[in-house]
Amino acid sequence: MTEEPDTTIIPAAYPELKALIIDGDPAVPLSEEEAFALYERNWRFLDREKLTDAEKQLIRRLTDRFGEGEVYV
């Protein structure tokens, strides 16, 4: 199995991820693992109705890579 390279994600590009950045700058890149952890810790605060298609795809991809459960988007 080949290890996927860790790319960075700009939270400002994803409305709900941006909203989860409380004490930081949403323009500062996060690693994919950091972004996944932020989504996972704060899932209850996300407004799933406001998730864009791009953000849903991001969450699915991150869950496939780092998660162990179902994706609810």
pLDDT tens for each residue of 26-69: 999 999 999 999 999 999 999 999 999 999 999 999 999 998 86
* Arithmetic mean of pLDDT over the chain: 90
The single residue listed with the structure tokens 């991809």 is 61
Count of other CB atoms within 10 angstroms of residue 16: 21
Tell me, yes or no, whether 57 lies in a domain.
yes
The single residue listed with the structure tokens 């998730």 is 51
Tell me, yes or no, whether 29 lies in a domain.
yes
> Rounded CA gap, 39 and 30, in Å?
12
**What is the reported pLDDT for 72?**
64
Tell me, yes or no, whether 3 lies in a domain.
no
Domains in the chain, number: 1
* pLDDT score of 11 more than 50: yes
> Domain range holding 21?
8-66
Tell me, yes or no, whether 73 lies in a domain.
no
What global pTM score does this model have?
Answer: 0.85
pLDDT-derived band at 5 (thresholds 50, 70, 90) equals low
Tokens of 5: 């390279």
Tell me, yes or no, whether 28 lies in a domain.
yes
Tell me, yes or no, whether 2 lies in a domain.
no
